Amino acid sequence: MEKGSFEVKVGLAEMLKGGVIMDVTTAEQAKIAEDAGAVSVMALERIPADIRADGGIARMSSPQVINEIQENVSIPVMAKCRIGHFAEAQILESLGVDFVDESEVLTPADEHNHIDKHAFKVPFVCGCRDLGEALRRIGEGAAMIRTKGEAGSGNIVEAVRHMRQVQKDIRSLTVLSEDELMARSKELGAPYSLVKQVAKLGKLPVPNFAAGGIATPADSSLMMQLGAETVFVGSGIFKSEDPPARAKAIVSAITHFDDPAKLAEVSYGLQTAMKGLDMAEIPEDQRMQERGW
């Protein structure tokens, strides 16, 4: 019997497709998320919009909070650790979390190295802005990729930019001839074996989800139509005026992402979405997407 293999890690990511992964900071929020139909919850200390507003160092959630969340919901529980902070990841693995997000939303612990994710039994998800970054993370052992967007902004523009970039990079690989792939691999800064695989498959070898700025059912549909296999929603739910109703509407929007009439129906009667930030209001050195490489 084999446990913790790459196949089993990607297997869980496959099961999460078409579901919504919601950021939660307490067991109570986790319960609201599960009741609304979330497919998984992501435990973190503070939601991205608050991390942005409060400043300071953002770290892994406390083990106590993670345990409380695990005891209160039956869906998979994910948790974030800092980029390069393998000790936080080891602790999360020992707590039995189902997925670790090595996340740019928390303050990075290592500016040069990401975690060697092959060394763990627990699967990892990592953010990316383009294909090179996605393949570097998969090379390190990530079993799921999410485009970064700009967390806590309530603004979909960066999520769209990153998803379009990844899809464009993939499409352009598929038309290259075999003898052009090594040069492209060098440009992308990505492992040659993975570049060859993507050129052949026409898609990433692991599920590709979207994150960072999703606030409405329409945002969710947009990301799905651009090629996301599902979405992470962070601040968009618990920073809105009606978290349970909005959470439920986003769950339905993912199922019916290509049915505008249904999307109109699920959006009907929702209260105000989170206020959000224009990118011009976020100085470049405060953009979370710049963390990691």
Partner 1 sequence: MKRVGVLGLQGAYAKHAAVLQRLDIQSIDVRSRNDLDKCEGLIIPGGESTTMTKLIEENDLYDAIIQFAEENPIFGTCAGMILMATHVEDDRVKTLNLIDITVDRNAYGRQVDSFVNELDVRTDGESFTMRCVFIRAPRIAELGDGVEVLASIDDEPVLVRQGHHLAAAFHPELTSETRIHSYFLTLKREMSIA
Residues near partner 1, by CB under 8 A: 1-5, 7-9, 11-12, 14-19, 34, 36-40, 74-76, 93, 96-99, 121-123, 251-252, 254-256
Question: What is the closest distance, in whole angstroms, from the C-beta atom of residue 18 to partner 1 in the complex?
Answer: 4
One-character DSSP codes across 108-130:
PS-SS----GGG-SS-EEEEESS
Q: Which residue number, 86 or 133, has a Cβ lying nearer to partner 1?
A: 86
Question: What is the closest distance, in whole angstroms, from the C-beta atom of residue 67 to partner 1 in the complex?
Answer: 12
Q: Which residues are catalytic?
A: 80
Buried b (16+ CB within 10 A) or exposed e, 256-270: bbeeeebbeebbeeb
Establish how many alpha carbons lie within 13 A of residue 251's alpha carbon, considering only the half-sphere containing its beta carbon.
19
Question: What is the closest distance, in whole angstroms, from the C-beta atom of residue 251 to partner 1 in the complex?
Answer: 7
- φ, ψ dihedrals at 231, nearest 5°: -130, 150
3-state secondary structure of 121: coil
Q: Which residue number, 76 or 213, has a Cβ lying nearer to partner 1?
A: 76
Give residues with Cβ within 8 angstroms of 113, minimum separation 6.
84
Query: Cα separation of 199 and 174, whole Å?
Result: 4
Token pair for 246: 């909005």
Q: Which residue number, 39 or 156, has a Cβ lying nearer to partner 1?
A: 39
Question: What is the closest distance, in whole angstroms, from the C-beta atom of residue 20 to partner 1 in the complex?
Answer: 8
DSSP assigned state of 260: H
Q: Which residue number, 155 or 221, has a Cβ lying nearer to partner 1?
A: 221
Question: What is the distance of C-alpha 271 from the center of its chain?
Answer: 25
Token pair for 282: 């976020």
Q: Which residue number, 63 or 96, has a Cβ lying nearer to partner 1?
A: 96
Question: What is the closest distance, in whole angstroms, from the C-beta atom of residue 115 to partner 1 in the complex?
Answer: 16
Q: Which residue number, 46 or 248, has a Cβ lying nearer to partner 1?
A: 248
Residues 217, 163, 140: CA angle, nearest 5 degrees: 120
Which residue reads 């929603």 in tokens? Answer: 233
Cα–Cα separations (whole angstroms), residue 278 to 76, 157, 214, 229, 275: 33, 9, 14, 26, 10
Question: What is the closest distance, in whole angstroms, from the C-beta atom of residue 194 to partner 1 in the complex?
Answer: 20
Which residue reads 């084999």 in tokens? Answer: 2
Cα–Cα separations (whole angstroms), residue 239 to 16, 100, 160: 24, 23, 21
